[in-house]
A and B are shown apart, each in its own frame.
Chain A
Amino acid sequence: MNSVNFNINFGYLEGLCRGFKGGILKQTDYINLVQCEILEDLKLHLQSTDYGSFLANEPSPLSVSVIDDKLKEKLVIEFQHMRIHSVEPLSTFLDFITYGYMIDNIILLITGTLHQRDIRELIPKCHPLGSFEQMEAIHIANTPAELYNAVLVDTPLAPYFMDCISEQDLDEMNIEIIRNTLYKAYLEDFYKFCSTIGGSTTEVMCEALAFEADRRAFIITINSFGTELTKDDRAKLYPRCGKLHPDGLAKLAQADEYEQVKVVADYYGEYKPLFDGAGTGPGEKTLEDRFFEKEVKIMMSAFMQQFHFGVFYAYLKLKEQECRNIIWISECVAQKHKAKIDSYIPIF
């Protein structure tokens, strides 16, 4: 896996990916989009971008959910095209990316079933990149053990279940724990896989995954304040492939309030500026927004190197951020409440 032989198998797909990246909306596009008065204006402007006539066959009047669906559909088509044309080890890499969405889908379906929703209502809400064959039969399971034995043992997520079979029943609290345990196992597995690939992929992906792990550690800590989650349980949910491992994670496990989390972040040069000035006041950005900004920056720098798989991961994340931006602007336009319309995260 070196730069000399990379193009034989992956050159076409990397070129395609960079072409897609070139079509990501620029700052001028966003300036035009925030000036729209109605959703049809948005559609008209998006026609002149890489999105083209993706909304052309939708009858007016448009709604934000239609725009959301179509944006996602376009992204899914692009990703699946790349997945279908890839060979090992790129195909395993792209599959790993989809496991995250699979975990989200499973949790969504279980939560919906708990609330007595019909399975057919829930299936359209699942993310298309994370769908797998047995997905629709999830509702037969009442405990994690059953879930594992019946449904998940054939999926690629089976090895991640080792840690959560011990839970007794599926209820609100435990579902979140299951989600985070699964995600932790998945992230660490992905990290290990990227390390074995070597070359620039390891450099780029390990940095991206380390940031993701640390972000999750911070968010889990902050969200668990005021809930029944014990500190030991919380410590078990932290992914260990980030920069915070082991000292930062140990300190985070002991934290009781936001200030203490901030103190932990101050030890790390990358995370200190994110916590400074973050807040929910009128002129400040929230912590989540700052994390998104940092993610965008890391993803953009992934494109600075060539001959590695990180471009695919980065492209997917950037496109998702763009979708979030467009939906945010559409919501502001649709509700005619443009006060916070500039809170999108600019990419270019």
Chain B
Amino acid sequence: MGSLFRSEKVTLCQLFLQSEAAYNCVSELGEIGLVQFRDLNPDVNAFQRKFVNEVRRCDEMERKLRFLEKEIKKDEIPMLDTGDNPEAPQPREMIDLEATFEKLENEMKEVNANAEALKRNFLELTELKHILRKTQVFFEEAASNGPMTEESVNLLSDEGLTQGGQQALRLGFVAGVILRERIPAFERMLWRACRGNVFLRRAEIEIPLEDPVTGDQVNKSVFIIFFQGEQLKQRVKKICEGFRATLYPCPETQAERREMAIGVMTRIEDLNTVLSQTQDHRHRVLVAAAKNIKVWFNKVRKIKAIYHTLNMFNLDVTQKCLISECWCPVDDLDRIQAALRRGTERSGSSVPSILNRMTTKQEPPTYNKTNKLTGAFQGLIDAYGVATYREVNPAPFAIITFPFLFAIMFGDTGHGIIMFLFGLWMVVKEKSLGASKSDNEIWNTFFGGRYLIMMMGLFSIYTGLIYNDIFSKSMNIFGSSWNADIAYPGDMGNNVEKLMLAKTYRLNPNSTNWSKEPYPFGMDPVRLGAMSQSTFGL
């Protein structure tokens, strides 16, 4: 813990990288994560920097990957996450990746378009089937209410007679399907616009249908409107269009309807098979993509990060090398040099990269080397404020004082044991629990502080024993040092009968009549007998 006492010594370095080697060197430096770069172009706009085109290409790739991810999630295919760390690919591999994503995206778009067209067809056929079924009922009712319809027809024909001769008047009709929510407004508008001269019957479709565009389940109803005359027909059609009701041709006679129904059923069967095949194909494409998608995301993010870093570099006058300034910890300069060498070798460049230490009056950033145990405590301290450079770091003290102060306030052995076991379980199962990468914020907070919780539990057990508090009860291991003989002078202390009858009894702490040996460890268990435990106990 010697190094945790103060923050690490950090120095300012200048980095000279040859242009070809720059990408690989930054990649290696990124992998070891020991360097903080300074932005040498602070007043340049985001879109005027040198590598802005590459960043844009990465943005495009990320967009395509997000689209694919959304499709994969829609189909609920599990995405494989092995947790390994793929290396940033070379710049020339970026073109291959772009081509792959482009191909996948186009394929998905095509499949989606096909599926949508098929689903639309399917929806139409299903709606038609429901219409044929329901209108059956309407026409039957109209036929059975023979006298009534005769009457209404007669009324109309009277008008007709007065206007233009003896013509048999027939009611025209349109049938269609509309969203259930729109029916009240639809009816009202029909009534108003046609001045009550149309007759609407409707019936609900029980099963929800799938909307082809959004994929949601919607409830619809079948309606049939009877009217007379061409003008009303036009008006009714316009209103239907306005409310997005789809109209279907419905034959008048029962025989024709039955024939149509059979035809529709066979077409639905055929469509079902085609639809399931399309879905299978889509599923296969997505499963293949799902295997690699996490790895691709990581790779693209690394490329983007490298180019963001390169954007902070300064281009030398000779245009041959990139210069950057960075903060490095002094103790790790060897590792950084090794990383630079690796990067230069991988890029195949002949000119080595140069790391040059500079002296500066500026204050370096605070860098604390932590491991998984100390990391949680360092995070706790940093939440209150990051220490300045080379100041004494409160974290190593906090490792003991924080759990101890917590335990003083917690102070219950029983609950302390539970807490300790919980922390111990998380620590022992660290690897498997850490790999599952949950999204739950509360769980992640607990898991991040597993060592903290374990220590808090441990200290709580100790303070709980001192307070003699286990699940809010006391343990009587050594026998209490108080007894009922210790009484106030003149009190009923020695009178056993009176003692039995008394409701409360006050022990005199100043009495000389006691066992002369206090309870060996912790609080005396007599506190449990007290009426008000809070004033007596603590």
Contacts and interface: CB of A to CB of B under 8 A. Distances in A.
Contacts of B243: 136-137
B384 interface: no
B185 interface: yes
A45 B46 contact: yes
A60 B239 CA distance: 39
A154 interface: yes
B239 A140 contact: yes
Given A56-B59, A154-B188, A140 B193 contact: yes
B66 A57 contact: yes
A139 interface: yes
A5 interface: no
A154 B324 CA distance: 68
A157 interface: no
A56 B242 contact: no
A232 interface: no
B47 A136 contact: no
Given A35-B45, A140-B235, A150-B193, A119 B56 contact: no
A41 interface: yes
A45 B238 CA distance: 46
Given A139-B238, A140-B238, A149 B63 contact: no
B192 A137 contact: no
Given A56-B63, A57-B67, A139-B242, A45 B45 contact: yes
Given A133-B182, A150-B189, A60 B238 contact: no
A52 to B, nearest CB: 13
B193 A136 contact: no
Contact of A150 (B59, B66, B182, B192): B192
Contacts of A37: 47
Interface string B151-183: 000000000000000000000000000000010
Contacts of B241: 119, 136
A171 interface: no
A133 B193 CA distance: 16
A36 B47 contact: yes
Contacts of A59: 63
A136 B242 contact: yes
B319 to A, nearest CB: 22
A137 B67 contact: no
B52 interface: yes
A116 interface: no
B60 interface: yes
B244 interface: yes
B59 to A, nearest CB: 7
B114 to A, nearest CB: 20
A320 interface: no
Nearest to B242: A137
Contact of A45 (B47, B189, B192): B47
Contacts of B56: 40, 44, 60
B47 A57 contact: no
Interface in B27-63: 45-48, 52, 56, 59-60, 63
B213 to A, nearest CB: 14
Contacts of A40: 47, 56
A44 B59 CA distance: 10
Nearest to B238: A140
Interface in B122-143: none
A318 B192 CA distance: 40
28 contacts: A32-B45, A35-B48, A37-B47, A40-B47, A40-B56, A41-B47, A44-B47, A44-B56, A45-B47, A56-B59, A56-B66, A57-B63, A59-B63, A119-B241, A133-B185, A134-B185, A136-B242, A137-B239, A137-B243, A139-B242, A140-B235, A140-B238, A140-B239, A140-B242, A146-B193, A150-B189, A150-B193, A154-B185
Interface of B: 45-48, 52, 56, 59-60, 63, 66-67, 182, 185, 188-189, 192-193, 235, 238-239, 241-244
What are the nearest 8 A-B pairs in CB distance? A137-B242, A41-B47, A150-B193, A136-B242, A140-B238, A150-B192, A44-B47, A133-B185
Given A139-B242, A140-B238, 16 more contacts: A32-B45, A35-B45, A41-B47, A45-B46, A47-B46, A56-B63, A59-B63, A119-B242, A133-B185, A134-B185, A137-B238, A137-B239, A140-B239, A149-B193, A150-B189, A150-B192
